[in-house]
Amino acid sequence: MGLAKTEMFTDEQNKISLFAKAFGHPARVAILQHLFKIDTCICGDLVNEIGLAQPTISQHLKELKNLGLIKGNVEGTSVCYCIDKENWASMKDIMTHFLDQDISSNNCC
């Protein structure tokens, strides 16, 4: 089907999978890493930095923006993007909680 049955899962599980899905493409990972490194970044820089076409980058940026992980500010004809730190922090909390699960006992198999 290609359609996840989200209604049978908890809000937390759905939230984790939505964030994870955003990181599920190397271009979006690269965009985020570049935004962290440069702190702020014009969209056009990302098109040069990463090797994908401009509409493709724009599409990836839109997904990240819809999730709230980045913000975009129009500056003349260009758009300045940066990490939304508050939302990044709360995303990090959720993901870290998921990754930090631990079990005391030994491996079963």
Partner DNA sequence: TTGTTTCATTGCAATATTACGATATAATAT
Partner DNA sequence: ATATTATATCGTAATATTGCAATGAAACAA
Binding region for a second copy (CB under 8 A): 4-6, 8-10, 13-14, 16-17, 20-30, 32-33, 36, 39-40, 50-52, 71-73, 80-85, 91-92, 95-96, 98-103, 105, 107-109
Closest distance of CB 26 from DNA, Å: 8
Q: Which does 55 bind (CB under 5 to 8 A by kind): a second copy, DNA, none?
A: DNA
- Closer by beta carbon to DNA, 4 or else 89: 4
Segment 22-31 long-range contacts (CB within 8 Å, at least 24 positions apart): 22/63, 22/64, 22/67, 22/69, 25/60, 27/52, 27/56, 27/57, 27/60, 28/60, 28/63, 28/64, 31/57, 31/60, 31/61, 31/64, 31/70
Nearest-angstrom CA–CA distance, 82 and 77: 17
Query: Can you give the binding site for DNA, defined by CB under 7 A?
Result: 1-5, 21, 24-25, 27, 42-44, 47, 52-56, 58-63, 72, 74, 76-79
